[in-house]
Amino acid sequence: MNKKEIIWREILYQTIEKNIEQFTQKDLAQKFSISLSTVFNALKVPRQLKIIEVTGRNFRIRNKEKFLYLWSTYRNFKKDIIYQTKVDLPPKKIEALMPPKIIYGLYAAYNQRFDDQPADYDKVYIYSTEKELGKIKKRFPFKKGYFNLVILKQDKFLHNYGETTPLCQTFVDLWNVGEWYAQDFLNALKNKINI
């Protein structure tokens, strides 16, 4: 994930999960140790689309739904895939066998957050660091066939949100996959976050 997406994720996380709607570019730059110009550039398109409103030193979110769709269409999900394999186990068993420092994404993230499953799923998406990837490969060696275990590269800030992706990233990732049941999860998530 690039710096723009890291900034968008933080803004959406704060808005959706913490009900914070006002931000400063300076605070975001400091939090992620990036330049103010990087934050400014990340906010260009949301500003043009009237997703955010800039007032003096602050800006506030005007439309979180539109912001989620912007990120969803921008996201290059496949670029983050670092490993995939076929595992002859059901999803819940695959999830249970994961090493401790991974972060659950998509269906597993939704399921863990809400203890709910809008549809059956047969694919597990996990975010992992390069360091943890070796452990995953030992537990789940590469096997040809239908890849039902997909590992995505974990950026250095993702662990700050807990054991699952934040709701905004879960939404964006669900938007970007092709499994038929993704839409069921997406619709259920829309209801949970009131969009």
All domains of the chain, ordered by start, with CATH? 3-74 (1.10.10.10), 78-192 (no CATH)
Token couple for 185 = 């999860």
Q: For residue 58, which amino acid is it?
A: N
pLDDT in tens, 34-52: 999 999 999 999 999 999 9
| Whether 88 contacts 98, CB under 8 Å | no
User: How many helices and strands (H and E) does the chain possess?
Assistant: 10, 7
pTM: 0.95
Q: Is the pLDDT of residue 56 over 80?
A: no
Q: Once rounded to an integer, what is the mean pLDDT over residues 49-77? A: 94
Q: Once rounded to an integer, what is the mean pLDDT over residues 46-67? A: 93
For residue 57, the model assigns a pLDDT of: 80
Nearest to 25 by CA among 67, 56, 64, 70: 56
Other Cβ atoms less than 10 A from the Cβ of 137: the count is 14
β partners of residue 95: none
Q: What is the mean pLDDT of the chain?
A: 95
- How many whole angstroms separate alpha carbon 61 and alpha carbon 31? 19
Q: Is the pLDDT of residue 95 over 80?
A: yes
